[in-house]
Amino acid sequence: MNIAQRHARARERQLLIAAHPLIWLLGTAAARIGSVVSLPRIGHFVSDPALVREVLGDAARFSKTSDAALSHVLTEVIGASALVNMDGEPHRRLRAKLQGLFTPHFMDELLAREMAPPLEDAAAVLAAGGSVDLARFAKLFTGRIACSLLGIALPPERAEDICLKLYQSGQEFCAVLGLSSRRLGRSRIAFLRRRFEEFTADTRAAYEAGGETTVPGRLRALGLDFEESRGTAGLLFLAGTETTAAALPRIVSLLIETGQWDLLASRRDLLPAAIDEGLRLTTPVPLMTRHVVADTTLGRKRLRAGERLLVCLLTALRAPGMGAAPRDFDISRTQTPAFAHLAFGHGPHFCLGAALGKRELHAALSTLLEAGPLAISHRRAARRILLPAYEMLEVRRSS
């Protein structure tokens, strides 16, 4: 391992520890011990990529829903039709209705409309020799897309304030919700309900108006009732803004730290692979939970009905099964097809917005690459948040 890769790993480790010190420590310790490791009162840590894929792909054996699961909390807050808190036939029916939501044409129009203003501003600042805070930049463009998802109008004079406040509210919501919450007290449930009502206050108007320019309107056209549309739009907002906004600055940092920014600038054909590699190492959702439906075996481990699995993507995507030097960031890596998109999950709950998130990253990175060589001038890790991220990552042209 060269010095640049060592420094890049250290930067990523600082972000992970700042956000989730316990998950980082338990996850990395468990991965050193074995593929499935039992921790009393916590659950079974699953760190092998093949076993992670098996768990996520088999909803009949490993359920996303139970009275002690995060999905139960989501049902209390969002309602019964939020997709990620569903399993079985109800989940399949709703998922089937959503197949026509993110068509390539719709995504292209959405990104051209909502990403153009912040992209143009960032390009102008960098061209003039100024610095851009990529954490703020990512919040702005994901915020604009979130407003479209929720049906929120954006007056030009207030667009930035609305987007940043919306992102902050979503971040606070997710921080309270947590990665593996089992139960929350009444006050926290009440807080989350109030926040969710704020996010979706304009959703009904957009749903009633219909049309193809907002997600609530498109959901109505796809045959969803209002509660299904509200739950889906709210989920897409919470999941999409957090993951993409967290991933972009981290991927840029990895490209610069490892000296691969110039390679990517000269080899734009590597951009899709660079995004996949960046998502693999930044692991937007480091931990997922499942519950054992009936007594079964995973690997060589006997599991009992009702036990909890902590599916640790954080360690699985850095495991030897991911290829040579799996903890290094290498944009020329050819990922194993079975694991190529594991950062977005697998099976019936594979991320609905995966294609949209990758297109957002492609558009943002393409603009930044046009600015030429970049250097990081200031950085600060965000602390105690749901998804590991930079609170600030300032870049400027290096020559």
CA 10 to mean position of chain CA atoms: 21
Tokens 């993110």 belong to 102
Helices (H), the chain: 3-19, 21-33, 49-57, 70-78, 88-97, 104-114, 116-127, 134-150, 159-177, 186-199, 203-209, 215-221, 226-257, 261-266, 271-282, 313-316, 354-370
Output the six-digit token pair for 139.
Answer: 């919040």
Q: Which one-letter DSSP state was computed for residue 200?
A: T
Is the Cα torsion angle 233, 237, 243, 244 positive or negative in sign?
positive
Distance (Å, whole) CA 252 – CA 241: 17
Using DSSP bridges, classify how beta strands 43-46 and 36-39 pair: parallel, antiparallel or unpaired: antiparallel
Which regions in the chain score pLDDT beneath 50?
none
Distance (Å, whole) CA 254 – CA 264: 12
pLDDT in tens, 60-90: 999 987 765 667 777 788 777 777 777 888 8
Residue 182 — φ and ψ, nearest 5°? Answer: -105, -50
> What's the whole-model pTM score?
0.92
Say what the pLDDT of residue 371 is.
Answer: 93
The amino acid at 41: R
Say what the pLDDT of residue 396 is.
Answer: 96
Distance (Å, whole) CA 217 – CA 304: 44
Tokens 């407003």 belong to 147
Plot region of 96 (φ>0 → left; ψ -120 to 50 → alpha; else → beta): alpha
